[in-house]
Amino acid sequence: MASTERSDAMTTPLRVAMIGYGFMGAAHSQAWRTAPRFFSLPRPVELAVVVGRNAAAVAQAAERWGWAQSATDWRDVIARDDIDIVDIVTPGDSHAEIAIAALAAGKHVMCEKPLANTVAEAEEMADAAAAAATRGVRAMVGFTYRRVPAITLMRDLIADGRIGAVHQVRAAYRQDWLVDPQMPLGWRLQKELAGSGALGDIGAHAIDTAQFVTGRRIASVSGTLQTIVPRRPVLGEGSGLSGTAGEGYGDVTVDDVALFSARLDTGALGSFEATRFATGRKNQLTVEVSGTEGALAFDLESLNELRFFDRNAPEPLQGFTRILVTEPPHPYLAAWWPPGHLLGYEHAFSHQVKDFVEGIAAGTDPHGTFAEGLDVQRVLGAVEASAARESAWVAVGDNA
C-alpha cells in the first residue's frame, strides 16, 4: 500500500505559481516549460498561474508564456490547495514577505537572487526555510550561473584538487546598460525596492559563483561603492528596462559600481567588481581561480568554455587550455545536443528547475539553499558597511 501511495505521489503534477512576470519571469517560464521535456524529472510539472498587479498585462504574459491562469493577488494564490511551488521573480522588497508566507503555507519556494534587501530579512527567510524543511518543504535561491555546465565543471575540478590549494580568486560582473544618463529611473535604481544597485543585482552572482566553485566562504571585505549618475528621468508607464520616461528627474539611491577586496575563510585573497558602467560589456561574468598546481578561468561571454592551466604539464606545453564544455559526461549535457552544439543563457534556468524538482522528490534541499543565500546577503551587507567606513576591513556578519 505504501509503495502504491508513493508511486501515485510521483505521478502527481507539481503545480507552479510564479509571482512576477518581468524579464526573469520570461526566463523562468521558459525553464518550467522546457525542463520536463529534456530531463526525466521524477514529478510532472504544470504552469498553473502567474501573478502580477496589472490584470491585463499579466493575462498577456500568461498567454504568451504558457501559464494556464493569471491572477493579481499573490496571497490568494498561495492559499490555494492546488499550488505546490511558488516561484518568486519580483523586486527584492517583496521577497521576504512572499517567501515566508508561502513556506508557512506548505509551498516549496524558488526565489530570485539576491535573497532579500537586507541581512535581517534574509535571516528571517533562512529561518523560515529551515523550519519548513522539517515538514518536507524545500526552498532554493535562483543563483542560476551555478548551473552553467562550465561553472559546475569548474567547481568539480577544484574539488578534485586539479589546481591544488586555492591562493587567489578574481570575479567580476560587468554590464553597461546605465552608461546612458537618460536611462529612466527604474526600480533597480531605487534602494527601497532593490536593496542595492550593481552590488546586489549582479555582484551577488559574482560572490555566489566564487564561493560555489571554491567551496569556501568570504570572511572579510574592504569595499567602495559609487553612484556615477545621481539623477535620472522619472519612469512613467511600464517597468524594468521597458518603461517610458515620465516628467522630471529623481534621485538614484543605489550604487552604480561596487569594488571590493576579500579574504576567504582559508586566508586566500579575492578581488571583486560589479558594475553597470563597463562601456561595451553587455553581460560579462568572469571568474578566475589560481592555485598551487594550476588555474581555471571562466567568461560568461564564452559560456560553453572553460580555461584550464596545468602547472604539472611539460614546460613546452604549458598554457591555458580551452575546454569546450559540450560533451555528454560534462554536467547537465547528456540531456541536450551532440558534442560541439552549444548551449545558451536560458539552459541554466532549465537546469535549475531540474535540480529543484529532483530535490523536492528526493526530500533533500537542492544547492543554492536559503542559508547560502543568507551567506551572500551577509557579504553584501559587509561591503556596504565597509564603504560607509571609508573602505575599512569588515568581517562578514559584523555589518550592523
Which one, of 234, 254, 257, 261, lies nearest residue 246 by Cα? Answer: 234
**DSSP code of 337?**
P
Q: Are 21 and 57 in contact (CB under 8 A)?
A: yes
* pLDDT (mean) for 145-173: 98
Classify the phi-psi angles of 277: left when phi > 0, otherwise alpha if psi is within -120 to 50, otherwise beta: alpha
| Average model confidence (pLDDT) across the chain | 94
Architecture of the domain whose range is 2-144: 3-Layer(aba) Sandwich (3.40)
Q: What does pTM read for this prediction?
A: 0.94
Architecture of the domain whose range is 148-394: 2-Layer Sandwich (3.30)
pLDDT > 60? residue 239: no
- For residue 379, what pLDDT is reported? 98
Domain pair 2-144 / 148-394, same fold: no
Pairing of strands 257-264, 218-226: antiparallel
pLDDT > 60? residue 376: yes
Q: Are 396 and 218 in contact (CB under 8 A)?
A: yes
Alpha helices in the chain (DSSP H): 2-11, 23-38, 55-65, 74-78, 95-104, 119-133, 149-159, 191-194, 198-201, 203-214, 347-362, 370-388
Q: Which long-range contacts (CB under 8 A, 24 or more apart) does 33-36 make?
A: 33/65, 33/66, 34/346, 34/350, 34/353, 35/350, 35/351, 35/353, 35/354, 35/357, 36/353
Q: In this structure, how many other beta carbons lie within 10 angstroms of the beta carbon of residue 254?
A: 22
Encode pLDDT of 16-56 as tens digits.
999 999 999 999 999 999 999 999 999 999 999 999 999 99
Model confidence at 2, pLDDT cuts 50, 70, 90, reads very low
Higher pLDDT, 240 or 262: 262
Cell matching residue 216: 569556501
- For residue 11, what pLDDT is reported? 83
In the chain, what are the domain boundaries?
2-144, 148-394
Q: Are 76 and 68 in contact (CB under 8 A)?
A: no
